[in-house]
Amino acid sequence: MTVALDRDERTVVVENASFRWAYQFVSFGLLILVGYRSFARGEAAWDLMALVVLGGVVASAYQWSQKVLTVRWLVNGLAGMFVAAAIAALVVWLRS
């Protein structure tokens, strides 16, 4: 008697890769819309930016709860936040 498997390790890997691609597509799409709203239309786009940031926070919180994050990840994350804040400050300074 043979049992047909609906899901195996390869299926899980492919599904996770597809979720990663979808998340990156949505995140970068939202960032493009934030830039368009801000620069082309002069509107505040905090609602879209909050979706991008909160999406990252949710993913990071889940990974933290599962204990898969490392000190290197933390250092890289903090460095990324610092660089983003510096670029944001530079953009605000240049636009004023």
Look at residue 7 in the predicted model and tell me its pLDDT: 75
What's the burial of 34, exposed, middle or buried (CB within 10 Å: 0-12/13-18/19+)? buried
For the beta carbon of residue 48, count every other beta carbon within 10 angstroms. Answer: 19
For the beta carbon of residue 43, count every other beta carbon within 10 angstroms. Answer: 11
Look at residue 5 in the predicted model and tell me its pLDDT: 66
- Low-confidence spans in the chain with pLDDT less than 50: none
Domain residue extents for the chain: 10-52, 66-96
Instruction: Name residues whose C-beta falls within 8 Å of residue 79's C-beta, 6 or more positions apart in sequence.
Output: none
Look at residue 2 in the predicted model and tell me its pLDDT: 60
Alpha helix locations (H) across the chain? 9-35, 46-65, 71-95
Look at residue 12 in the predicted model and tell me its pLDDT: 87
Give, in degrees to the nearest 5, the angle at Cα 16 between 15 and 20: 120
Residue whose token pair is 């204990």: 67
Look at residue 1 in the predicted model and tell me its pLDDT: 59
